[in-house]
Amino acid sequence: MNNAMRMSKAMKVHIRQLDRQSRKHRRQAAELLLENPELWPAMEIARAVINTLLSPNRVCLCAFDEKDTVVGLVGGLPDYDGIVWELHPLVVKKANRGHGIGRKLVKALEKEASSRGALTIILGTDDLNGSTSLSNVDLYDNTGGRIANIVCRKRHSYEFYLKCGYTIIGVIPDANGIGKPDILMGKSVIKKPRTQLTALDGGKFEKGREAKKGR
């Protein structure tokens, strides 16, 4: 899809932190999670997730429509002394999907985490129902090769994250039961050019170093 088409289907939303004082917005945020019972099966669970996201150091950004109703949310959790942030959860109201809100929420979290010192954003996206070629296989065998050659069989959110600039950086085999992995993805939010890093693959780089040492 080109940019013009993307703009035409985009929905105007305002993204800001969820206000812990607003019971209405906290309830709407929990209801949003509840729309996905496979992930958050009960209201108490959804409420607990929202409360956790509102604890110190964490971030909970919500997308509000023109009526100031919560139509999407993204959470962020710092790790590695704040250098790495985990994006979790991400959800857009069913009726409002496909209008660019998910992409905007991801961008907003990246900006917020980066302003707090993050260099890397990571996330996990589960494959519970054989949507990708990473399911129902032995992921301890040829792990890198399987990741490099992933095939999407059914619509899966890893494709959404690819479109947001994320790369598959690993897998957690059997994370959700045998053959049901979590697909780990990451993105750099470093502002400066990555001058110290080499694009050469590890093998070639090491061989070069060995050759120099031998001389």
DSSP 119-141: SEEEEEEE--SS-BTTTTS-TTS
Return the residues of window 71-130 that contact ligand COA according to CB under 6 A: 90-92, 97-103, 125
State the minimum distance, in angstroms, from the CB of residue 83 to ligand COA: 22
State the minimum distance, in angstroms, from the CB of residue 213 to ligand COA: 44
- Of the two residues 13 and 118, which places its CB atom closer to ligand COA in the complex? 13
Return the residues of window 17-56 that contact ligand COA according to CB under 6 A: 36
- Of the two residues 103 and 187, which places its CB atom closer to ligand COA in the complex? 103
Number of residues that bind ligand COA (CB under 6 A): 20
Instruction: Give yes or no for residue 180 binding ligand COA (CB under 6 A).
Output: no
Residue positions counted in the chain: 215
Residue from 67, 154, 155, 215 touching ligand COA (CB under 6 A): that is 155
Q: Which phi and psi angles does 33 have, rounded to 5°?
A: -65, -40
- What's the Cα-to-Cα distance from 200 to each of 25, 74, 205, 206, 210, rounded to whole Å? 48, 35, 6, 10, 15
Instruction: Give yes or no for residue 163 binding ligand COA (CB under 6 A).
Output: yes
Helices (H) and strands (E) in the chain, counts: 7, 7
Report H helices in the chain.
3-9, 23-34, 43-53, 101-115, 143-148, 157-163, 202-214
- Of the two residues 75 and 102, which places its CB atom closer to ligand COA in the complex? 102
State the minimum distance, in angstroms, from the CB of residue 103 to ligand COA: 3
CA distance 48 to 86: 18
Q: Which residue is nearest to ligand COA (CB)?
A: 102
Residues that bind ligand COA (CB under 6 A): 1, 6, 36, 90-92, 97-103, 125, 155-157, 159-160, 163
